[in-house]
Amino acid sequence: MSPSSETEGVRLQVYLARCGLGSRRSCDVLAASGRVAINGARITRAGERVKPGDVVTVDGRKVSAASRQVYIALHKPPGYLCAASDPEHRPLARDLFSSAIPERLFHVGRLDFLSSGLILFTNDGEFARLVSHPASRIEKEYLVETARDIDESFLRQYARGMRVGDVTYRCESYAQRGSRSALITLTEGKNRELRNVFASRNIRLKRVHRLRIGPVSLHGIAAGHFRRLTDREVRWFVEHAAPAAPRRRAGRPVRYTPAPRPGRPDGLARSQRPAPPARRPGGNRRPGPGAPHHGPGARPQRGPRRPPARPRGPAR
């Protein structure tokens, strides 16, 4: 960190993400909710900065940036909730590893309460943003099992894109494994997408099980257990997601500036070039030898008129 950045500090949502409280987007929501305070002063607007020596609290509890970044893959059983807390006191997915990992981790994306399978946890907010951003197009493979037969025409329509209510859903690929089970790959994964899509065709899902996220699979991870991601796996996510999901300041449209062409040093498009000067009476051509000269106020001469058309006779 440079001396100037140390003086100015870091943006509050960045600091909260480094504390393991979620992605930058979720930390924006957290800061706007009024639950965060800096040096005892409650924050009510975005854009505040945390400087060295500042004390940041969330719900009255002091938080600090993590000393190291942790990335784990968890095999979530059904009946566990992906959340930091639950007023109904249901089991939390984070409880499955909290006794083994002292750092405070948050989930990347989510699996609903009844779904099972692979989910990532980390305390790296930037990593979570890259992996979960829709533009990153990270593949997520699911095994779905249904209560009645799945018509392949329905899966073909899903692959082409189908609209349910006001939302359009589209799977990246599919493969039927039987009359009532299929492998479906998504690259965006809207909220409760699979359940909404199948429910629109009155197909009840008996099981939604995530098998893979990018290069990370459930292979070797028993239900309720986890493993740490390798450096190679973390590097894969960053390299594949970073070009696809750049951060851009909102409210500043991208402007297109045409590149200069040979013979056009200004580089302006035709619609942007200034209008040519108005033509003078009689044209801009220099009069030839013997042509009459037109002075100021003189009326331009007209050329010879065409002979009138010969009248046609009566039609025969």
CATH at 49 = 3.10.290.10
Residue after which a domain boundary falls, among 210, 241, 272: 241
Lowest-confidence segment of 40-44, 81-85, 209-213, 284-288 by average pLDDT? 284-288
Q: Which member of 86, 95, 112, 124 is catalytic? A: 112
Lowest-confidence segment of 61-70, 143-152, 242-251 by average pLDDT? 242-251
List the one residue out of 117, 119, 97, 116 whose CA is nearest residue 108.
119
Same domain assignment for residues 101 and 216: yes
pLDDT band at 245 (very low <50, low <70, confident <90, very high): low
List the one residue out of 53, 75, 65 whose CA is nearest residue 7.
53
- For the chain, give percent helix, strand, coil, nearest 5: 20, 25, 55
Number of domains in the chain: 2
Provide the residue range defining the domain that includes 48: 3-63
**Alpha-carbon dihedral sign for residues 38, 41, 45, 48:** negative
Lowest-confidence segment of 4-18, 92-106, 133-147 by average pLDDT? 4-18
Q: Is residue 282 part of a domain?
A: no
Is the per-residue pLDDT at 187 higher than 60? yes
- Annotated active-site residue 28? The verdict is no
Is the per-residue pLDDT at 248 higher than 80? no
Burial code of 232-257, b = ≥16 C-beta within 10 A, e = fewer? ebbebbeebbeeebeeeeeeeeeeee
The residues near 177 (Cβ < 8 Å, ≥ 6 apart) are: 143, 183
Chain segment 70-104, per-residue pLDDT in tens = 999 999 999 999 998 899 999 999 999 999 998 88
Same domain assignment for residues 182 and 40: no
Look at residue 35 in the predicted model and tell me its pLDDT.
85
Look over the chain and give the mean of its residue pLDDT values, rounded to a whole number: 80
Same domain assignment for residues 90 and 34: no
Same domain assignment for residues 20 and 135: no
Same domain assignment for residues 123 and 13: no
The total number of residues shown for the chain amounts to 316
Lowest-confidence segment of 126-130, 167-171, 244-248 by average pLDDT? 244-248
Same domain assignment for residues 201 and 172: yes
145: which 2 tokens?
């099992």
Which residues of the chain form beta strands (DSSP E)?
10-11, 36-38, 41-42, 49-50, 56-58, 61-63, 71-76, 106-108, 116-122, 140-146, 162-164, 167-169, 173-178, 181-186, 205-213, 216-217, 226-228
Mean pLDDT computed over 157-180 = 94
Report the percentage of the chain scoring pLDDT > 70: 72
**Which pTM was predicted?**
0.65
Q: 146 near 181, Cβ under 8 Å? A: yes
Q: What is the CATH number of the domain that holds 230?
A: 3.30.2350.10
Choice between 225 and 315, residue whose per-residue pLDDT is larger: 225
Q: What is Dmax (Cα atoms) for the chain? A: 109
Q: 185 near 173, Cβ under 8 Å? A: yes
- The 3-state DSSP class for residue 132 equals helix
Same domain assignment for residues 119 and 11: no
Q: Is residue 299 part of a domain?
A: no
Is the per-residue pLDDT at 113 higher than 90? yes
* 9-13, 16-20, 64-68, 200-204: which is most confident: 200-204
List the one residue out of 213, 170, 165 whose CA is nearest residue 194.
170
Same domain assignment for residues 200 and 136: yes
